[in-house]
Amino acid sequence: MTKRINENEDDAKGDHVDRRRRQWARELPDLDTEPMAILGRAFRLSNLVRPSIEATFAGFGLDRGEFDVIATLRRAGRPYRLTPTEIYSSLMISSGGLTHRLDRLEKAGLVRREKSSSDGRSVLVALTETGVARAEEAFRMDMANESRFLQVLDRQEREALADLLRKLITGIENETERSEEQTPD
């Protein structure tokens, strides 16, 4: 009984990932769980902030995927128009997934599909004035919301963390690209 109480006290120290690592160390002491210290925390962080981000977008009548579409168009700059291929490539989603989002956004009056002036077979997706305003308002609110989460870190810590995450992500992206290049078709 005493051992169980001490383990529970020990489990209370640190964060969620520390507790999971201690549990694995007890069960598989030969296994190095260091990747959990970083990647596990990244996953946990994403899960913790996702509900708040989704609630922000819901307040603007959008789900996360719909916001991603109008944000992609808004970031593209004037005239806030892209081909569907440019949008789904940027978002790394299927063309079918984009079609459903575009249907909902068009119905809401946030985007419109236009024939391309340079290629009559091609379609462009353009933000409406309402879409531009909604994208900007939702993004401003999202950034204010996300900034709240970061207040526990000072500016120097935020910059250092951003630099380290950039380095990690770039390394993973490069490794993924190399692996894809080496995979036969």
d(CA 98, CA 65): 9
pLDDT tens-digit readout, 26-66: 999 999 999 999 999 999 999 999 999 999 999 999 999 99
Structure tokens at 44: 């946990």
The C-alpha atoms of residue 182 and residue 51 are separated, in whole angstroms, by 38
pTM of the model: 0.82
Distance separating alpha carbons of residues 106 and 102, to the nearest angstrom: 6
Q: What is the mean pLDDT of residues 154-171?
A: 97
Residue 178 has pLDDT above 70, yes or no: yes
Average pLDDT of 69-93?
93
Average pLDDT, the chain: 90
Cβ neighbours of residue 80 closer than 8 Å, sequence gap 6 or more: 73, 74, 126, 127, 131, 132
Indicate the pLDDT class of residue 3, thresholds 50, 70 and 90: very low
The ranges assigned to domains in the chain are 60-172
Q: Are 124 and 132 in contact (CB under 8 A)?
A: no
113 with 121: CB under 8 angstroms? no
Q: What pLDDT does residue 168 have? A: 96
- Note the pLDDT tens digit of each residue in 97-117: 899 999 999 999 999 999 877
SS (H, E, C) the chain: CHHHHHHHHHHCCCCHHHHHHHHHHHHCCCCCCHHHHHHHHHHHHHHHHHHHHHHHHHCCCCCHHHHHHHHHHHHCCCCCEECHHHHHHHHCCCHHHHHHHHHHHHHCCCEEEEECCCCCCCEEEEECHHHHHHHHHHHHHHHHHHHHHHCCCCHHHHHHHHHHHHHHHHHHHHHHHHHHHHCCC
CATH topology for 60-172 is Arc Repressor Mutant, subunit A (1.10.10)
> Above 70 in pLDDT, residue 1?
no
Q: Of 101, 103, 41, 38, which is closest to residue 68 (Cα–Cα)?
A: 101
C-alpha 125/C-alpha 70 separation (Å) is 10
Considering only CA atoms, which of 33, 20, 29, 26 is closest in space to residue 3?
26
